[in-house]
């Protein structure tokens, strides 16, 4: 720690710089004579040089002082110091050449220094001045760096981002990490070295963890192959290796990031699906310059849709929701992130026909993305009348008004719980699907339904619940160790909704490729490991039993449905049989039952409309008998 407190006087730095310059001059003469000069030649050259040496020192002193190369803190030498030194040395050499010309033509016929000496002296002087400074800087950094190594680190990605990550960590004086190498998916890079560190293929990860005692892996690839990334993460989790991730360059400050920005990997990164590629041109052609209404705009999917749609520069974006505070937050975020976006905040309830009628007649939306709904299975199981009022009657209000106001396209956000429903919520969404589909032929409005599973990180989903339970020390509650679910991220879901919505011609139900179903208990275990905790030692998992209406396994298609491929590899079209004409009459009768507040009667009518609705673990199972 001596260098950290040492501050040399400026005159000492100037004296050392002049001494290094004289050494550079001596080196230049030695090179000029190829180390073979005899005593006679040395005397002759010294007679010429002795008349120049004083001028050499004076010129160097004046130029160095003018360029203030002695002012920089040597232990913090930067590229700006480099520029000053090179420029000062160059000006010195030009000055010597000018004085040499004057001496040779107007005095004794000798130049100050031979041209070859001037060139060599310039290069040697720059190298010595810079080399001495960077040597001091390196010694200083090493002297103040923590000698306690807590983590042995592998960097995943041997590209530019990986190299920047290495340099950032090494530059951090408080870092207690030792980088032992890189791993990369490219077999061509395997066996090479990057700034002195070995590059290994990712297939060697497990053996490296054991051989080198790796305790931390940093993902530095900005767009890694999701399948390869998933395998790397799985190996790390299995071997109790912490995983961190370098942030996107968009969040770097002035093109640089600090080691403090390297954060723990999120559970979202474990999906392992290929990135979604959208038909941006088609979506832009559909949405740009149009008035677009998003219902449930303050919710997870609704707000996600708003952010996606905002990029396509609609003429006006109408944000409808009854949740005041979340709408206010969304408003502030849009003002910050999309300052030129023309949008309108509307607080209202889709269950109010008059309020919705005023909205449609006032703004005349051409596109409607309907994301407003009650979605929590246990709550709707206890409150069927509310599921009926919002999910069914609310949707009917919007569908009818869309037809009356000649909306071009109506995209309904549905759920995989509408497939072979075992609960009131799923059944209510299936009935809403039926009403929207059956309305496709009633006017000029095209009705398109999109159906997908659970969304990671959405309000009330299992991920935020597990996070809170982990923060509180547990236990993590899982209903059944056999329960599996399909998952996708909010951006993925919203992108696919836009793609499916714009490709739809009317009357379709689009289902999304949700990837592989994931065991909820496995998800909980991974989140525990990603949090740096140990199952049954730091936190426990508690099995609570299935909730009313809950399924063990979710489905995306019913027994009566098949799928057809579309031009997008992650979007399929459900091939379904037409619903009987009297279904609209049945749905209207169901809506009228709201006034009775008779839950059993409401659920029974739902089961008549959706025969595949078989209650599970619910008080309504008796209605199936």
Distance (Å, whole) CA 332 – CA 310? 14
Which residue(s) pair with 411 in the sheet? 369, 448
Which residue(s) pair with 477 in the sheet? 542
197-201/193-194 β-pairing: antiparallel
Cβ atoms within 10 Å of 17's Cβ, excluding its own: 22
Which of 307, 319, 414 shows the shortest CA–CA distance to 365? 319
Q: Who contacts 555 (Cβ-Cβ below 8 Å, separation ≥6)?
A: 416, 419, 420
446 catalytic residue (yes or no): no
Residue 194 phi/psi, 5-degree rounding, is -130, 110
Distance (Å, whole) CA 579 – CA 577? 6
Show the 3-state SS of 473-510.
Answer: CCCEEECCCCCEECEEEHHHHHHHHHHHHHHCCCCCEE
Which of 64, 177, 181 shows the shortest CA–CA distance to 126? 64
Q: Who contacts 465 (Cβ-Cβ below 8 Å, separation ≥6)?
A: 477
Q: What is the DSSP string of 198-267?
A: EEEEGGGHHHHHHHHT--EEEE--SS--HHHHHHHHHHHHHTT-EEEEPPPGGGSBTTB--GGG-EEPPG
> Of 60, 375, 396, 417, which residue is the catalytic one?
417
Tokens representing 222 are 């900005």
Peptide bond into 388 cis (omega under 30): no
For residues 321, 455, 241, 238, the Cα torsion angle rounded to the nearest 10 degrees is: 160
Which of 369, 375, 371, 381 shows the shortest CA–CA distance to 408? 369
Tokens representing 221 are 């690839």
Query: What DSSP state is assigned to residue 56?
Result: H
Which sequence positions are flagged as catalytic?
417
């Amino acid at each position: 720690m001596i260098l950290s407190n040492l501050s040399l006087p400026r005159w000492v730095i100037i004296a050392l710089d002049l001494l290094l310059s004289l050494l550079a001059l001596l080196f230049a003469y030695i090179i000029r004579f190829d180390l073979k000069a005899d005593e006679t030649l040395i005397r002759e050259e010294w007679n010429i040089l002795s008349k120049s040496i004083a001028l050499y020192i004076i010129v160097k002193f004046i130029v160095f002082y003018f360029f203030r190369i002695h002012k920089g803190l040597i232990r913090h030498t930067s590229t700006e110091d480099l520029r000053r030194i090179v420029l000062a040395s160059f000006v010195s050499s030009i000055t010597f050449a000018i004085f040499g010309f004057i001496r040779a033509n107007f005095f004794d016929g000798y130049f100050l220094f031979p041209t070859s000496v001037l060139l060599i002296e310039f290069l040697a002087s720059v190298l010595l001045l810079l080399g001495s400074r960077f040597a001091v800087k390196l010694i200083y950094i090493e002297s103040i760096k923590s000698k306690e190594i807590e983590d042995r680190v592998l960097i995943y990605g041997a590209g530019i981002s990986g190299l920047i990550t290495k340099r950032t960590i090494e530059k951090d004086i408080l870092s207690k990490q030792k980088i032992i190498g890189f791993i990369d998916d490219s077999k061509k890079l395997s066996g090479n070295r990057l700034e002195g560190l070995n590059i290994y293929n990712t297939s060697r990860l497990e053996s490296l963890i054991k051989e080198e005692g790796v305790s931390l892996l940093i993902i530095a690839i900005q767009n890694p192959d999701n399948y390869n990334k998933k395998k790397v993460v799985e190996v790390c989790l299995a071997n109790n290796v912490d995983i961190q991730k370098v942030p996107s360059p968009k969040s770097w400050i002035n093109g640089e990031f600090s080691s403090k920005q390297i954060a723990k990997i999120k559970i979202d990164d474990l999906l392992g699906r290929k990135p979604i590629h959208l038909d941006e041109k088609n979506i832009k052609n559909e949405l740009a310059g149009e008035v677009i209404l998003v219902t449930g705009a303050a919710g997870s999917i609704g707000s996600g849709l708003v952010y996606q749609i905002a990029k396509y520069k609609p003429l006006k974006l109408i944000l409808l929701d009854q949740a005041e505070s979340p709408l206010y937050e969304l408003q502030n975020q849009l003002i910050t992130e999309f300052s030129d976006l023309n949008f309108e905040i509307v607080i209202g309830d889709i269950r109010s026909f008059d309020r919705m009628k005023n909205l449609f007649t006032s703004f005349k939306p051409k596109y409607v993305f309907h994301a407003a709904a009650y979605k929590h299975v246990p709550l709707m199981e206890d409150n069927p009348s509310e599921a009926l009022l919002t999910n069914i009657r609310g949707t009917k209000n919007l569908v009818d008004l869309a037809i009356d106001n000649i909306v071009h396209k109506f995209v309904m956000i549905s759920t995989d719980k509408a497939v072979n429903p075992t609960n009131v919520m799923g059944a209510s969404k299936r009935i809403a699907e039926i009403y929207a589909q059956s309305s496709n032929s009633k006017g000029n409005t095209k009705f398109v339904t999109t159906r997908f599973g659970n969304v990671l990180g959405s309000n009330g989903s299992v991920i935020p619940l597990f996070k809170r339970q982990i923060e509180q020390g547990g236990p993590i509650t899982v209903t059944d160790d056999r329960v599996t679910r399909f998952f996708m991220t909010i951006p993925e879901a919203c992108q696919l909704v836009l793609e499916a919505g714009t490709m739809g011609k009317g009357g379709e139900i689009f289902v999304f490729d949700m990837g592989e179903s994931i065991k909820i208990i496995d998800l909980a275990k991974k989140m525990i490991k990603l949090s740096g905790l140990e199952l049954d030692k730091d936190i426990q998992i508690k099995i609570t039993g299935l909730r009313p209406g809950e399924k063990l396994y979710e489905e995306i298609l019913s027994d009566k449905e098949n799928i057809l491929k579309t031009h997008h590899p992650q979007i399929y079209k459900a091939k379904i049989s037409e619903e009987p004409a009297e279904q609209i009459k049945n749905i209207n009768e169901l809506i009228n039952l709201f006034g009775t507040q008779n839950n059993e009667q409401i659920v029974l009518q739902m089961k008549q409309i959706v025969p595949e609705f078989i209650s599970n673990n619910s008080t309504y199972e008796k209605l199936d008998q």
